[in-house]
Amino acid sequence: MDFYNHQMTTLQGETFNFCDHQDKPIIFVNTASKCGFTSQFEGLEKLYSENKDNLLIVGFPSNDFNQELSTDKEIQDFCKLTYAVEFPMMSKSSVIGKNANPLYQELYARTKEAPMWNFYKYVVSPGAKKINVLPSTVSPESKEFRVLIEPYL
């Protein structure tokens, strides 16, 4: 299956088509509102706001690790009011195991790495030629993260 051939639904209930973004790097991150790494929203949003013409960041709220709010509306309000998140956030879904959403199943198939916790990051190069996986402990401000992104910005 073509990596970008996924349509998902945003927290606002709108259809999001990844085919429209295959010419730029994409950072996929599974998020949770009540996690020790939740403050990474701030760094992700800063990176997105400074580079949104050349970079896409997509959040995938998930309760797989029992730290997410109940509804898409609660998640949307939290992200907007607490961190002013403007990058696309998909509807709450699973990101691990057999119930993972189709995009995360594809990421797992290509990398053989599933999120071990919230705020795992998949950095996908333009055209999905290369996918790097970064654990929760690697923040958006870190050198390890920046060295993967900066060549595309």
DSSP string, 37-54: TTTHHHHHHHHHHHHTTT
Spatial CA neighbour of 6 closest among 58, 54, 45: 58
Of 35, 89, 103, 133, which is the active-site residue? 35
CA dihedral 114, 63, 71, 134 (to 10 degrees): -40
Q: Pinpoint the alpha helices (H) of the chain.
A: 40-51, 72-83, 102-111, 143-149
Alpha-carbon Rg for the chain in angstroms: 14
CA distance 134 to 64: 18
Is 79 part of the annotated catalytic residue set? no
How far apart, in whole angstroms, are the C-alpha atoms of residue 113 and residue 133?
8
Q: Name the residues annotated as catalytic.
A: 35
